[in-house]
Structure 1
Amino acid sequence: MKKLSARRRHPLAALVVLLLALAATGGLYAAFAPAGAAQADETSQSLKIEQGKKLYEVGCASCHGTGGQGSSNGPSLVGVGAAAVDFQVGTGRMPAATTEGPQVVAKKNIYTQDQIDQLAAYIASLGAGPSVPTKQDYDPAGGDIAKGGELFRTNCAQCHNFTGKGGALTKGKFAPTLEGVAPQHIYEAMQTGPQNMPSFPDTTLTQKNKQDIIAYLHAIDSPETTQPGGMDLGGLGPVTEGLFAWIFGLGALIAVAVWVAARTAKAKKS
């Protein structure tokens, strides 16, 4: 007992006890911690990438190359990220029906969301790029509509019109309408800059800025907001309103003037 008591008073006794406690804790964690869960996640992700590769080889490799390196018919996909895949495939733009024409248009989607996720996982594995945003990132309810309107008019209205109706560009290209577009796809478009559109990374427009813009578009995509006084004449701005005034307003004045002149001439004859 005296020997044991002496050992307890040794200067290194506390260190030895601490090391034994850490070793015991580590052993217990290794024995009971859900290590299988992390391994299962890795296995699931690997399987998703493998499935995505198979889908890619069937539907995408003919234009973008067998390893996503690109070809004369399609750009490289290395580093575009999962967000670009979710947008392009989710809106039906990819796979493209043809490589001809000024730009690829949206059409009916041919993939399920699970398949899109698999394709996105495979493309993301080729190189780092923007990830698919979460609902918290793009939920319109969390945005500032007034701030979003200001940002949209500054950065987007030149092409998409101030009400998001879209507009013509050069050489047959166009900025598509943003009416009815899912908030997630609008966010991804700002992240990745598809086709003619410039990209707006977080260094240019923050996550909150993007959410504000989506909130603005969500607000104006409502008849109660866009047509408070009646017909909006297409929402194309003062040009259409001025054209309407010239054609119909001035035309009506001319018709009235002709009618008055005819009535006056008839009155003088009688």
Structure 2
Amino acid sequence: MPREKKRRRSGRRSPLAAAALIGVGLLLTGGAYAGASAAMAASPNETATTTLTVEDGEKLFQANCATCHGLDLAGTENGPSLYGVGAMAVEFQVATGRMPLQMQGPQAPQKPPQFTEDQILAMSAYVQSVAPGPEIASGEVLDGQGDVSHGAELFRVNCAMCHNVAAAGGALTEGKYAPPLAGVEPRHLYAAMETGPQNMPVFNDLNLTPEDKRDIISALLWMEQNPSPGGFTLGSLGPVSEGLFIWIFGIGALVAFTVWITAKSN
């Protein structure tokens, strides 16, 4: 008699098996990638510890900035010319993350920088070598040891109308704004006054001397270290918020107290 062939049981795979397999694969590859990233972060960064040259800065500029500013730094339809801006403006814009520009808008927002300090200095040196301008500030003007009282007076006269008397920033027209100044490094405060980024006017040495700028920086650093010396910040909106607070709560409390006294006497 012919042998009966045993039929193999053709079991169907569960529809969840493929999803589980993909999930395991993603988990393994993701874990490997995270481990590799952590190892790279823990290892010494050669770029951060190596002093780059002007030629390195030129390559970085051509790869990241020339699309908008042109290979010859003369500018294009998408970006202004860099002739005369100098190393100071380049370092300010790139170190604060405003450049490279994330997207077109009323103004470039501040964000984490995309380059190391050495790369930023190399690009700044390259622009300075091609189109000279103000050098990066250093030394006494940034030490915060100036006349705080004089600096606060200069700040109120020249800066408070945009940045707020408490340096908390404020809104401008057409979606623009003056950023808050707390936490800004002294060299960037000096660069902002010297180069006039975004909507800020340029305060050259005829408007504000280097000693005046030093005093303003000293006042801003003092305000950062001594927040709200007069009491509640009330949003750091200045006299308007203070007057509104007194009008609503102060006068309101007096009216309520007067009504209470009248009711008691009756």
TM-score by length of 1: 0.74
Q: What corresponds to 1:124 in structure 2?
A: 128
Deviation of 1:72 (Å): 1.3
Equivalent-residue separation in structure 2 for 1:243 and 1:52 (angstroms): 52
Equivalent-residue separation in structure 2 for 1:167 and 1:75 (angstroms): 26
Deviation of 1:248 (Å): 2.8
- Which 5+ residue runs of structure 2 have no aligned equivalent? 1-50
Residue pair 1:81, 1:130 contacting (<8 A) in 2 also: yes
Q: What corresponds to 2:72 in structure 1?
A: 67
Q: Secondary structure at the residue paired with 1:221?
A: helix
Q: Are 2:187 and 1:184 equivalent residues in the alignment? A: yes
- Render the CA deviation track for 1:132-190: whole Å, top value 9, x for unaligned: 0113221102x111111121112111111122111111111111111110011001111
Equivalent-residue separation in structure 2 for 1:238 and 1:156 (angstroms): 16
Q: Which has the larger radius of gyration?
A: 1
Residue pair 1:190, 1:199 contacting (<8 A) in 2 also: yes
Equivalent-residue separation in structure 1 for 2:53 and 2:204 (angstroms): 27
In structure 2, do the counterparts of structure 1 residues 150 and 229 end up closer, same or farther at CA, with 3 Å as the change threshold?
closer
Deviation of 1:112 (Å): 0.8
- Render the CA deviation track for 1:192-235: whole Å, top value 9, x for unaligned: 1101001112222111111111001111112xx34334312123
Which protein is richer in helix relative to its size?
A: 1
Of the candidates 150, 154, 157, which is equivalent to residue 153 of structure 2? 150
Q: What corresponds to 2:28 in structure 1?
A: none
Paired AA for residue 114 in structure 2: I
Q: What corresponds to 1:108 in structure 2?
A: 112
- Render the CA deviation track for 1:73-112: whole Å, top value 9, x for unaligned: 111111100000111011111111012x211110111111
Q: What corresponds to 2:91 in structure 1?
A: 86
- Which 5+ residue runs of structure 1 have no aligned equivalent? 1-44
Paired AA for residue 235 in structure 1: S
Q: Are 2:194 and 1:203 equivalent residues in the alignment? A: no
Give the paired residue count: 217
Q: Which moved more, 1:181-190 or 1:145-154?
A: 145-154
Q: What corresponds to 1:97 in structure 2?
A: 102
Q: Secondary structure at the residue paired with 1:77?
A: coil
**Percent sequence identity over aligned pairs:** 52
- Render the CA deviation track for 1:223-264: whole Å, top value 9, x for unaligned: xx3433431212322100111122333444555677778x77
Equivalent-residue separation in structure 2 for 1:191 and 1:64 (angstroms): 21
Q: What corresponds to 2:240 in structure 1?
A: 239
Paired AA for residue 200 in structure 2: M
Equivalent-residue separation in structure 1 for 2:231 and 2:138 (angstroms): 37
Paired AA for residue 221 in structure 1: E
Q: What corresponds to 2:57 in structure 1?
A: 52
Equivalent-residue separation in structure 2 for 1:256 and 1:149 (angstroms): 39
**RMSD over aligned Cα, in angstroms?**
2.3
Paired AA for residue 83 in structure 1: M
Equivalent-residue separation in structure 1 for 2:203 and 2:149 (angstroms): 19
Q: Secondary structure at the residue paired with 2:53?
A: helix
Q: Are 2:167 and 1:164 equivalent residues in the alignment? A: yes
Equivalent-residue separation in structure 1 for 2:197 and 2:108 (angstroms): 10
Q: What corresponds to 1:194 in structure 2?
A: 197
Equivalent-residue separation in structure 1 for 2:169 and 2:184 (angstroms): 12
- Render the CA deviation track for 1:45-95: whole Å, top value 9, x for unaligned: 9x7221111111111111111221111111111110000011101111111
TM-score by length of 2: 0.75
